[in-house]
Amino acid sequence: MSFILSGRFLDYAHPLHLWFLEYLLVFHAVAAVIVVTLPRVLPAAVRSSLLGIYRRVVQSIWAPLPLAVVSMWRKYEESQR
């Protein structure tokens, strides 16, 4: 109890357990940019085909794989710094 009351526990309080919130913020920011810019840049036929590809990936049994690759790539980039 003295460890907590002394405030020494704050030396070990790293926000690693909040990694998912960082990802959520990044995904939302990227999605907002895409939603605003994509209709102005790509024709409807191209957007429709991209949406079809996205749906097939997300509804597939392998859906976690692309997100895992992105996550591992990000962790690899962080470890190289």
What was the pLDDT predicted at 43?
Answer: 94
Buried b (16+ CB within 10 A) or exposed e, 40-51: eeeeeeeeeeee
**Half-sphere exposure in the Cβ direction for 1 (13 Å, CA):** 0
Domain regions of the chain by residue span: 15-79
Please count the other Cβ atoms lying within 10 Å of the Cβ belonging to residue 66.
Answer: 13
pTM > 0.95: yes or no: no
Per-residue pLDDT of the chain (81 residues; tens, 9 = 90+): 787 788 877 777 777 677 788 889 999 999 999 889 989 999 999 999 999 998 998 898 888 888 788 888 878 888 887
What was the pLDDT predicted at 49?
Answer: 95
Contact (CB, 8 A) for 74 and 66: no
